[in-house]
Amino acid sequence: MVKTDFLIIGGGPAGLSAAIETSKRGLKTLIVDEGVELGGQLVKQTHKFFGHEGFYASVRGFEIAKRLISQLNENVTIMNQTTVTGIYEDIITAYDRENDLIVEIEPKYILISVGASERFIPFENNHLPGIYGAGAVQTLMNQFKVLPGKRVLMVGSGNIGLIVSYQLLQAGAQVKAIVEITEKVGGYQVHAAKVKRLGVPILLRHTIVKAIGDEKVEGAVIAQVDEKFNVIPGTERELAVDVICIAVGLVPSIELAQMAGVKIEYIPELGGFVPFRDREMRTNIKNIFVAGDLAGIEEATTAMIEGKIVGVAVARDLTGIDLQEDLEKMQKELVEFRSGPFSDKVRKGLERFFPQSAHSYSKDAQQDLGPTGKLRPIIECFENIPCNPCQTSCPSGAITVPGNINSLPLIDYSKCTGCGICAMKCPGLAIFMVQENHQPGRDLIVLPYEFLPLPEKGQKVIALDREGREVGQAEIVKVVKSSNKTHLVHLSVPAGLAQVVRSFRIPQKSDSIVCRCEEITVEEIERAIDEGYTDYEELRRYLRIGMGPCGGRTCRVITLSILARKTKKSIQEIGCGTFRPPSMPVKFDSIVKGEIDNEK
């Protein structure tokens, strides 16, 4: 029998935040968690958080987990790899997998913060290996360093689908497409912009129809849908993928709450069936609280705030200390975070429990792009999301998020020094630095970059626009490394492209052979052309193209095509080169024998 003041079921952001509040006030706290380590979803989240610095804005999820755990003290007992199996009237049972035994727990107060499970959808062959939930893909990649496949179809464009798509790209996979059944992207625009400028198409009004394969996923059939979400016949097409990743939402894990006698209500705006709770996250049972995704599907930031509210309420009840001011402060934080348009649905759902309020915020995006010719930030954040690291990180006070944290940021260019700190801090990678005519005929664009390996100074790259389309060649001028892993790449682009270029691609080394006799590749030919060998005969002498046994029968036309593309000339202008005898390889011995026979 384990007796404790406060039992927390689920050691994610909500549970850890609650434990911090109770343990620092001297309460004996027990955290029971299924995972091998505490943190819940945080441990596999490698992206930076939105919000403000009080709740770890611009800090990556797995780092937030470490910071929360570090705040626990000796009053906290942790049982990892343990699952609560039953909540009875007088006792709680848990299965300790590591020691293979059942434990009985007798707490005074309980927080159920077990999160949510992934929602799935029916489609043909959805049982095949290679079909994953987005959370499972994150766990494999970010927690256990396993890439589930190389070519991925993402189903769902909410924040989870967009974030996992970006992380798949970081891990070296190809995301062939993101399909979204509705008419608009479900997640933040800044998350969508990150994957679009890397060339990933987001197909609206599309869904998956079928997984292709016998023993594993080898492809997928997608199709367009009408306004009633029915597949439009004749619009089906196949994609060659080995992974289908499902990111169509989460379902609150209500099992334990319902088992404990908590009142359950169906509220679609909160994710489906959810437990009743009041402003303090208390259910209809006085000593049972809920928090996090179990209480309604939201962001991890709101889960942390809810957890703090629970911890303070429990500490107040068990110690008798007046903590009303602390409670009200946290409740005001929730109101502010939920004041933006993305929380409209959540507020509507919570109205079923208690009245909701919201702060006003500025919806006007800045039109002024600053003084031409000065290195300055351009903020491409056009949605009202709760976030202000650009403001709090600016050393000169040039950026403000007026009023509510959901307002759009504004820049006072007269104060801006062009330091670029805001671009490093922005969780949405939505801030770019630009300078027109930094050199004659060249613009400078500074891009946030989170891929490895980092490019090197002087490296030639391919510039991409907001849709991931090639718009020209560029050169790496400088790379500024950052401790938060959002590095700044300074890119020199042709004049006029500073407001167009938003990403780049490093040309891949090609194993494509052009001249099989001499084993000359496409890359070697292109590099030679860049070095100035722009005539076929020059290339032939330099690289020995066409000097092998075939005499250029295979490689001549291919080389001329590459020359035409690189020099922007027609093949007619370049010409076919000179043909010299012998027309096929002949042994010197044969020539000598012929001469001797001729003399005879």
d(CA 596, CA 600): 6
The helix/strand count (H/E) of the chain reads as 16, 30
* 448 falls within a domain: yes
Beta strands (DSSP E) in 286-381 are 288-290, 376-379
**What is the pLDDT at residue 213?**
97
* 370 falls within a domain: no
Which carries the bigger pLDDT value, residue 530 or residue 40? 40
Give the pLDDT mean for 131-150.
96
Asked if residue 437 and residue 475 are part of one domain, the reply reads yes
- 508 pLDDT above the threshold of 90: no
Asked if residue 303 and residue 211 are part of one domain, the reply reads no
Task: Provide the pLDDT confidence category of residue 396 given band limits of 50, 70 and 90.
Answer: very high
Type of residue numbered 445: I
Q: How many angstroms separate the first and last alpha carbons of the chain?
A: 113
Q: Which residues neighbour 594 within 8 Å (Cβ) at sequence distance 6 or greater?
A: none
Convert the pLDDT of each residue in 88-111 to its tens digit.
989 999 999 999 999 999 999 999
* 359 falls within a domain: no
223 neighbors 207 (Cβ within 8 angstroms)? yes
**What is the pLDDT at residue 510?**
59
Give the pLDDT mean for 289-302.
97
Q: List residues bridging with 152 in a β-sheet.
A: 175, 243
d(CA 378, CA 500): 12
Asked if residue 100 and residue 128 are part of one domain, the reply reads no
Asked if residue 406 and residue 474 are part of one domain, the reply reads yes
475 neighbors 461 (Cβ within 8 angstroms)? yes
d(CA 548, CA 109): 83
Asked if residue 588 and residue 561 are part of one domain, the reply reads yes
76 neighbors 29 (Cβ within 8 angstroms)? yes
> What is the residue whose two structure tokens read 């995704």?
293
Asked if residue 516 and residue 466 are part of one domain, the reply reads no
185 neighbors 156 (Cβ within 8 angstroms)? no
φ, ψ dihedrals at 426, nearest 5°:
-60, 120
CB atoms within 10 A of CB 155: 25
- 155 pLDDT above the threshold of 80: yes
Asked if residue 477 and residue 389 are part of one domain, the reply reads yes
How much of the chain, in percent, has pLDDT values that exceed 90?
84
d(CA 95, CA 395): 52
Kindly state the tokens that stand for 170: 């970081």
Asked if residue 61 and residue 107 are part of one domain, the reply reads yes
**Cα 171 to the center of its chain, rounded Å:** 11
**Element (DSSP H or E) covering residue 7:** strand 2-9
Question: DSSP label at 140?
Answer: I
Give the pLDDT mean for 130-142.
97
Give the pLDDT mean for 179-191.
97
**What is the pLDDT at residue 577?**
81
**What is the pLDDT at residue 511?**
65
499 class by beta-carbon count within 10 Å (0-12 exposed, 13-18 middle, 19+ buried): middle
**What is the pLDDT at residue 509?**
66
**What is the pLDDT at residue 397?**
97
Kindly state the tokens that stand for 184: 């608009």
CB atoms within 10 A of CB 98: 10
Kindly state the tokens that stand for 507: 């040309």
Kindly state the tokens that stand for 245: 């990743």
CA angle 541, 545, 549 (to 5 degrees): 115
Q: Which residues neighbour 257 within 8 Å (Cβ) at sequence distance 6 or greater?
A: 112, 264, 275, 283, 288, 290, 294
Length of the chain: 600
What are the CA-CA distances from residue 514 to residues 324, 407, 566, 573 (Å)? 76, 56, 15, 21
d(CA 589, CA 568): 45
* 74 falls within a domain: yes
**What is the pLDDT at residue 531?**
87
Task: Provide the pLDDT confidence category of residue 147 given band limits of 50, 70 and 90.
Answer: very high
Which of 69-78, 148-157, 214-223, 517-526 has the weakest average pLDDT?
A: 517-526
CB atoms within 10 A of CB 7: 26
Domain end position, chosen among 505, 534, 552:
505
Which of 34-43, 360-369, 410-419, 513-522 has the weakest average pLDDT?
A: 513-522
d(CA 506, CA 220): 29
* 462 falls within a domain: yes
* 587 falls within a domain: yes
Domain range enclosing 466: 376-505
- 580 pLDDT above the threshold of 80: no
**What is the pLDDT at residue 111?**
98
Does the bond joining 440 to the residue before it have cis omega, within 30 degrees of 0? no
How many independent structural domains does the chain possess?
4
* 363 falls within a domain: no
Q: List residues bridging with 79 in a β-sheet.
A: 32
Give the pLDDT mean for 145-174.
97
Beta strands (DSSP E) in 380-496 are 399-400, 410-411, 431-439, 442-449, 460-464, 470-480, 487-494
550 neighbors 520 (Cβ within 8 angstroms)? no
Q: Is 545 helix (H, G, I), strand (E, B) or coil?
A: coil
Asked if residue 500 and residue 521 are part of one domain, the reply reads no
Does the bond joining 585 to the residue before it have cis omega, within 30 degrees of 0? no
Q: What is the CATH number of the domain that holds 95?
A: 3.50.50.60
**What is the pLDDT at residue 34?**
95
Q: How high is the mean pLDDT of the chain?
A: 95
223 class by beta-carbon count within 10 Å (0-12 exposed, 13-18 middle, 19+ buried): buried
Convert the pLDDT of each residue in 518-571 to its tens digit.
888 888 888 899 889 988 888 888 998 888 888 887 888 888 889 888 888 888
Beta strands (DSSP E) in 253-293 are 264-267, 272-275, 288-290
Domain end position, chosen among 248, 283, 317:
248
Task: Provide the pLDDT confidence category of residue 583 given band limits of 50, 70 and 90.
Answer: confident
Q: Comparing C-alpha atoms, which of 513, 498, 504 is closest to residue 545?
A: 513
Asked if residue 267 and residue 219 are part of one domain, the reply reads no
Strand 92-96 with 272-275, pairing? unpaired
Domain end position, chosen among 300, 316, 350:
350
Half-sphere exposure of 279 (CA within 13 A, CB side): 14
49 neighbors 100 (Cβ within 8 angstroms)? no
Asked if residue 198 and residue 134 are part of one domain, the reply reads yes
Does the bond joining 582 to the residue before it have cis omega, within 30 degrees of 0? yes
Asked if residue 315 and residue 334 are part of one domain, the reply reads yes
d(CA 479, CA 497): 19
* 593 falls within a domain: yes
